Amino acid sequence: MKLHADKIPSLNTVTAYDAQHIEVNAQRFEYSILLMPDNPVQAWSINAFSQLDEAHFLAILGQKPELVILGTGIRQRFAHPKLYAELARGHIGVEFMDTGAACRTYNILMTEGRLVLAALIIEANV
């Protein structure tokens, strides 16, 4: 799906996505990524929701977002709270949604000036 929202050129914006890729500022990524408005896009070493562990959330904690939108692949799933307990202790909100919804939500929050991090899973072999 291509997105045509108000784009702020200096910020990372999701410009398209489907089950096999995410496009940020017209650059295609065919793997899972961590995305924040002002930071370079980072590869995220996960290719299935079932691989999520505490280390993945600790990597997110180091980015110091105020809110995390976790795109769980082609369908919405929820991680066990113990996996992201450190984020909760740091008063960082976590929302789980399918990756498409996470892309759209990230764009909205980013244009509102929120310090949001989108952790977007592209599942292998989908």
Span 17-48, pLDDT tens digits: 999 999 999 999 999 999 999 999 999 999 99
In the predicted model, what is the mean pLDDT of the chain?
Answer: 92
Q: How confident is the model at residue 14 (pLDDT cuts 50, 70, 90)?
A: very high
> Please, which residues have CB within 8 angstroms of residue 113's CB and are 6 or more apart in sequence?
none
Helix (H, G, I), strand (E, B) or coil at 20: coil
Give 61-74 pLDDT, tens digit per residue.
Answer: 999 999 999 999 99
> Please, which residues have CB within 8 angstroms of residue 18's CB and are 6 or more apart in sequence?
1
Structure tokens at 88: 């909760």
